[in-house]
Amino acid sequence: MTRTRALDLGALLLGAGLLLRAAVVGGPRLNVLLWPGPGDLHEAAHSRVACFAWVATVCLLPVLTSRRAGPRLALLRRLRAHPVALVGLHLSMLIVLTTALAPLLTALAPGRTTYPTGLPPSPGHWFGTTAIGTDVFTDTLYGARVSLLVGVVAVAVSTTLGTAIGAIGGYLGGWPSRVLGGFTDLMLAIPRIAVLLLVVGLVPMGNARFLIVALVLGLTGWMHVARTVRMEVLSVRERDFVIAARALGVPEARILARHVLPNVLTPVVIYAALGLGGTMLTEAALAYLGRGASAGASWGSLIHEGSSRLATEPWSAGIPGLCLMASVVAFNLVGDGLRDALDPRLRVNPS
């Protein structure tokens, strides 16, 4: 058995175990996933999307990336040629699946303080309980939602904004490029964590605060994307196919959208994968400092609450910290695999 197939089999067994536990523990709550009522549509959507993504990754990916699948899926084949990247891909999908199925994986309530206090990890409480009587396993599952959602929204904002600014500045050149370049340098000079603490401190806790934190993270993290895209556009705009399109009278906006941008998206995709882990760490740092995006449990707030009891309850802060580290490592491995698969100088032959 090759390493790739062994990794696929391991991910399949882990995911099947999660679904089995969801079926056993969730019990009647499986109705939320299968036949959601008017008030359960949001929860059911999360669970269905996660299950579909896991099935597509574990079951369909080996088929789609076989040599018989054709040249259109060559990128996926190259990605699967890197066992380390494949580990990151499967691990990230399992993290997403576990997070989305949180209501079915545990019958306990997050944040509830009526459980026995200070229990170490045990069959009844897998990750133990804290000194105030909360279940660490339940809080860790639900806390992952905050970190993941904030990271995805922030990375989407930063990559979109950075790509637009970098593409416009690099393609137009002249004074627009100088103005946008100066604005980018100015934003890089502003301490990001100070802006986050200031803005988040002015917003009361609630749904608006969650959105504000994600937007501020995105609006203060686009500069490196803009610089990279600008450099790529400066190179692409002088190539023969762009000059030919301009000579044929194609509008500049169409040239930029149809001919230039598709050729500079490689670093954007790599940044999105690598930036997700860093954004999750930043959100956790905010929560650790008491400026989290949500009033509920998050990995950063769990680490903060358990840091004062490391000597007596190492699991209360250590387990959320390990989950955060595993998530960041998983997304970074995917980003490294994408970089190797997209860069022709770093490609390896699929095995």
Highest mean pLDDT among 120-134, 191-205, 250-264 belongs to 250-264
Highest mean pLDDT among 9-23, 35-49, 253-267 belongs to 253-267
Mean pLDDT of 17-39: 47
Q: How far apart are the first and last CA of the chain?
A: 12
Strand boundaries in the chain, DSSP class E: none
pLDDT bracket for residue 3 (50, 70, 90): low
Mean pLDDT of 282-295: 79
* The token pair that represents 1 in the structure block: 């058995």
Closest of 178, 161, 177, 160 to residue 169, by C-alpha: 177
φ and ψ of 115, to 5 deg:
-90, 165
- Can you give the residue ranges of every domain in the chain? 3-105, 136-327
Q: What is the DSSP string of 269-311?
A: HHHHHHHHHHHHHHHHHHHHTT--S-SS--HHHHHHHHHTTTT
Q: Collapsing DSSP states into helix, strand and coil, what is residue 135? A: strand
The CATH class for the domain spanning 136-327 reads mainly alpha
Percentage of the chain beyond pLDDT 70 is: 70
Percentage of the chain beyond pLDDT 90 is: 4
**Long-range CB contacts (within 8 A, 24+) of 93-96:** 93/11, 93/15, 93/53, 93/54, 93/57, 93/58, 94/11, 94/14, 94/15, 94/18, 94/54, 95/144, 95/148, 95/323, 95/326, 95/327, 95/330, 96/50, 96/53, 96/54, 96/148
Amino acid 159: pLDDT: 93
**Residue 73 scores a pLDDT above 60:** no
Tokens 């949001």: give the residue: 42
**Residues 108 and 115 sit within 8 Å (Cβ to Cβ):** yes
Mean pLDDT of 70-75: 54
Average pLDDT of the residues of the chain: 75
**Residue 161 scores a pLDDT above 90:** yes
pTM of the model: 0.76
Predicted confidence (pLDDT) per residue in 95-108, tens digit: 887 787 777 777 77
pLDDT bracket for residue 121 (50, 70, 90): confident
Mean pLDDT of 258-280: 86
**Residue 6 scores a pLDDT above 90:** no
Handedness of CA 273, 275, 277, 283 (dihedral sign): negative
Higher-pLDDT residue of 330, 10: 330
**Residue 22 scores a pLDDT above 60:** no
As a whole number of Å, the CA-based R_g of the chain is 23
Higher-pLDDT residue of 92, 116: 92
Name the amino acid, one letter, at 57: T
